[in-house]
């Protein structure tokens, strides 16, 4: 079974990063449409708010290291639509993301990718212990630390990316990738959550062979509903 997992992972990474040569097909999703240059008014923020908001977004990922480079150029962006997931706001200062509620993000088989990929917050389990408890300030700036994302093939977890911090702020500059810039929710609900980290061990020798030490960035661009202006002031709703 370990050999099967290793084979699946190497097939997966060859398909994504085009390591098979210059004619290899890339797993490509079109980038999000350009946003209107006329920015909506800022949100009135989260001060005193308590509610559950739903975030609908598109995820774009870039990875660059000694043995891999994918999603770093405009013509090979790796993006996928993310089903809506909840963010729980309480006391106007706390925000929580639950792995059990984070959706499956499906990348279908296509081209040289012979098997579908799923990224989620629970692996093959319940995700109940994968909880990011963070902060939201009066202006709506969000920081969600210590979250994990799992890569699965045919329902089998192949790698876990842990210690992820999602933020509406700016990430650190990484050894091989630039800083990413997020944005707090505006009055229309538009919000960008970003993350950047250097990959450590991924609990898989096959994954570590390609990815350990590589720089990874993730950008969620989308909209929250309700907006912070409409978020209630009582119990979670």
Can you spell out the DSSP letters for the chain?
-HHHHHHHHHHHHHHHHTTT-TTPPP---PPPPPPPSSPPPBP---TT--EEEEEEEEEEEEEESSS-EES-SGGG-EEEEEEEEEEEEETTTEEEEETTTSPPEEE--BTTB-S-EEEESSTTS--TT-EEEEEE-TT--EEEEEEEEEEEETTEEEEEEEEEEEESSBPPPPSSS---B-B--BTT-EEEEEEEEE----S-HHHHHHHTT-EEEEEEEEEEES-GGG--SSS--
Q: Look at residue 135 and tell me if it is in a domain.
A: yes
Per-residue confidence (pLDDT) for residue 13, from 0 to 100: 52
Per-residue confidence (pLDDT) for residue 36, from 0 to 100: 46
Q: Look at residue 84 and tell me if it is in a domain.
A: yes
Per-residue confidence (pLDDT) for residue 12, from 0 to 100: 53
Per-residue confidence (pLDDT) for residue 203, from 0 to 100: 74
Strand partners, 219: 60, 194
Residue 76 falls in which region: left (phi positive, over 0), alpha (psi -120 to 50) or beta = alpha
Closest CA to 150 of 205, 105, 206: 105
Per-residue confidence (pLDDT) for residue 74, from 0 to 100: 82
Closest CA to 59 of 230, 226, 222: 222
Strand partners, 87: 53
Q: Look at residue 32 and tell me if it is in a domain.
A: no
Q: How many domains does the chain have?
A: 1
Per-residue confidence (pLDDT) for residue 28, from 0 to 100: 39
Alpha carbon distance 147, 130 (integer Å): 6
Strand partners, 132: 97
Per-residue confidence (pLDDT) for residue 117, from 0 to 100: 76
Q: Look at residue 115 and tell me if it is in a domain.
A: yes
Per-residue confidence (pLDDT) for residue 157, from 0 to 100: 83
Per-residue confidence (pLDDT) for residue 35, from 0 to 100: 44
pLDDT (tens, 9 = 90+) of the chain, 237 residues, equals 444 454 455 445 544 444 433 333 333 334 444 444 344 444 455 566 789 999 999 999 898 999 888 888 887 778 889 999 999 999 889 999 999 999 999 876 543 345 667 899 999 899 999 999 999 998 899 999 999 999 888 788 888 999 999 999 999 999 999 999 999 999 999 999 999 999 998 877 877 888 899 999 999 999 999 999 898 764 333
Q: Look at residue 235 and tell me if it is in a domain.
A: no
What Å distances lie between residue 55 and 119, 190, 224, CA to CA?
17, 9, 4
- Domain that residue 173 falls in: 2-21+46-230
Per-residue confidence (pLDDT) for residue 150, from 0 to 100: 93
């Amino acid at each position: 079974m370990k050999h099967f997992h290793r084979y699946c992972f190497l097939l997966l990474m060859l398909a994504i990063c085009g390591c098979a040569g210059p004619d290899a097909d890339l797993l490509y999703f079109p980038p999000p449409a350009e946003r209107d240059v006329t920015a909506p008014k800022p949100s009135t923020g989260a001060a005193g708010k308590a509610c559950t908001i739903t975030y609908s977004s598109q995820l774009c990922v870039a990875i660059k290291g000694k043995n891999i480079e994918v999603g770093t150029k405009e013509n090979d962006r790796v993006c996928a639509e993310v089903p809506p997931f909840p963010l729980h706001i309480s006391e106007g200062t706390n925000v929580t993301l639950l792995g059990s509620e984070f959706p499956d993000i499906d990348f279908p088989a296509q081209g040289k990718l012979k098997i579908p990929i799923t990224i989620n917050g629970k692996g093959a389990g319940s995700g109940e212990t994968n909880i990011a408890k963070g902060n939201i300030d009066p202006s709506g700036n969000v920081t969600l630390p210590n979250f994990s994302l799992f890569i699965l093939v045919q329902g089998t977890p192949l790698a876990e990316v842990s210690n992820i911090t999602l933020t509406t702020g700016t990430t650190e500059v990484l050894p091989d990738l630039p800083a990413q810039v997020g944005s707090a929710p505006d009055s229309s609900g538009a919000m960008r959550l970003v993350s950047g980290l250097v990959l450590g061990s991924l609990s898989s020798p096959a994954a570590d062979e390609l990815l350990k030490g590589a720089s990874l960035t993730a950008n969620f661009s989308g909209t929250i509903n309700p907006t912070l202006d409409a978020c209630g002031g009582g119990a979670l709703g």
